[in-house]
Structure 1
Amino acid sequence: MVLSTQALITKGVQLSSLAGSIMSGTPKSKQTNQKSLVCTVDIVRYSFLTSLLLLNKCPVLLTGESGVGKSAIIQELLSKLQKPKGSSIQTKTILGNVFLFNEMKHESMVADIGYLADGFSEDVNTDPSCIDGVCSGPRMEFPTKDSAQAGTKSSQDSKELQTTTVLFSTQTTSAQTQAQILHKLVKRSGNRRSPPKYTKLIVFVDDLNMPAVEQYGAQPPLELIRQFLDLGGFFDMKRLRWLRVEDVALVAACAPPSGARSELSQRLLKHFCIFNLPQHSTKALQYIFQVKVGLFLESNNFMPVVRRCRELLVKAAISIYYKMCRHMLPTPINPHYTFNVRDLIKVTQGLLQANETDIVSKEQILMLFAHEVTRVFHDRLSDVKDRQMFYTFLSDDLHNYFKVTEG
């Protein structure tokens, strides 16, 4: 389910070249810089569990420190579930990638054998009885659950999915929240409200704990959410009647309480299946950013000497990021000394702005790297000693990874 770094880069280059041949007139840089989520083991795990719960109408809450990818995971899985048959157990779906892993593994092995056979097809007999240059019996077909489930479509899979996103802030009111949810619903008989026919609605509430606390400790938008989860509907304030809401699932994301974020009440949390996303491991960070940088360098045909710097660039950036998090801690004088994975993403995004005609040597890519980490980390430092310490970090890592010494 999780490809190796080089395999994912190669696959991405093939897809971008195919898109380039189809989308004529689109600049190459715009094709390769599209935002996409690089799947790791944790992302596959949480996407599968969250999708399984949402399809069974179980509310889900993802929490964790800033920058761990809560919103990105939810948005990615919602986009996949919205696709035709995206909620079914088929190949290349979130559920199918897990439930049909063994079948897909066999199919991948057969495809790899086919690619190997294609390489020898020119040197072997091309008789019509031969398939891909191999003159043996008929090719083996591995059975899948898709063929067994053909024609037996469940009522759950027959419904398409719609999504809506509700962004909470300190100024969000309960009336705004209710209006955003009801806007996606249609009127049914009596006081029922539901999505259009043969569809389900998934509501994504981002920054769940952001609404401001009132004088008496209540948070009206959260009380409205709790009312919906408790009683299955809302109260119509205009016509003074109860509205029953059907076929609506709820998924939310929030960071730990700090600053404007308040602590959620236990009466609300008891309704959610809560997943606490941990910080990415060093191995996961290297995998994610090596895929991003490697795909960019390969698809834009950078010089081989530049492409070979992919792994060391990512390792050096991660090393500087860890040192900044460890040594540059927030204080009452410098409360803005807060670093997370988003800063590492900014460094990578700066590297992805490079042009293959300008960056043609190892020295030039290192100058760009030094510029980007200085822009992201050094420019936030307000103390002379802290800035000098940053230059020490940068000098040490350039020497450790690239054998660059001060000239």
Structure 2
Amino acid sequence: RKVLTHRDIARMAEALERQGVRVIRMDVGEPDFRAPSVVVERAYQEMKAGKSRYTEPKGRQELREAIADYVKMKFGADVKADQVIATMGGAFGVYLALASTISPGDEVIVIDPSWPIYKSCIRYVGGRPIVLETRLEDNWEPNLDELNEKMSAATKAIILNYPSNPTGKALSKKTFKGIVEIAQDKKLTLISDEVYADYNFTGSGHNTVLNYPEVSYVLISSFSKSWGMTGFRVGFVISDLDRANKMAAIQSMLITCIPEFVQYAAIEALKCLDEAKRNLEVMKERAEAVCKALEPLPVSFYKPDGAMYVFPRIDVEGIDGSEFAVKLLEKKNVSVAPGGAFGNYFDYFRISLGQPKEALVEGVKRIGEFLSSMS
């Protein structure tokens, strides 16, 4: 069975757009927010002032201190600047975390459905992804007994991503703590991708690995989603000092450092708390509108606790997610990501909330029309 990824659909959508077709883009996990104007201005001013030179591999001290202050303010976490590395976005943070943690033949547990980069990256550094599947029927809750059963002598790490891409699931404190305890007991590293920490709709606060310093961890975060800075390519990782130094050595070898003026822009972003808050409210509103529009359709879905996605299952017999995504694009000019890209979820598709609410609601309406024509 040919499984298409969101990238395949994006390429098809872009080809249509080049022909002048207006496509409602619900495939790409990129918010439509612009970076705050003060962030753009700061990058520009620093470039003009000649701040386009090498920095130390971990990033400028001022930026790392600002990140440490930010996580202290946000989560009450006590982190030193030397534990922080400014990375080329969250994706490169995933690579650094894995490259500094596992050796060829080691196993890493991935909780599906998951962002495809985790498995690709584990394989790239010579590891083996071991999948723990979660189910819509269980509200995407990982079963900790099943997690324990997946362990072997070769297991070195567990990757967490909550709020989740693609499901929008956020873990309860009890489940999060349960996973931390398993990791501690088995001496594993928790690699926690928390790029959607600011998009939490629950009101009960974000559970972060930073609040469990007793466990071996790497936190991955990014400026892309909270502040609409996807193209700036700036994120950060936080871990214990030894691992941070190891990751810095890898970063130094591969990219030297991230651009100096981008680091200054990131310092400015950390002051823009109102923008991050407003972006959260917009995402929450979009999620509610999309869920409401999906309700009458022949689909089942979990109402997201956070992140920027809804992950519906198509409740029509014999429909494959990849085929569905291609035909939906051809017939209705709406692009979605096929569920098979995120694991063994071939009758699902992912809606990204990266478009204005009106466009998303119109997109869902067209999905409904398309499903009616198929059943």
What TM-score do the two structures reach when normalised by structure 2?
Answer: 0.32
Choose between structure 1 and 2 for higher RCO, CA contacts under 8 A separated by at least 6 residues.
2
Q: Which of the pair has more CA radius of gyration?
A: 1
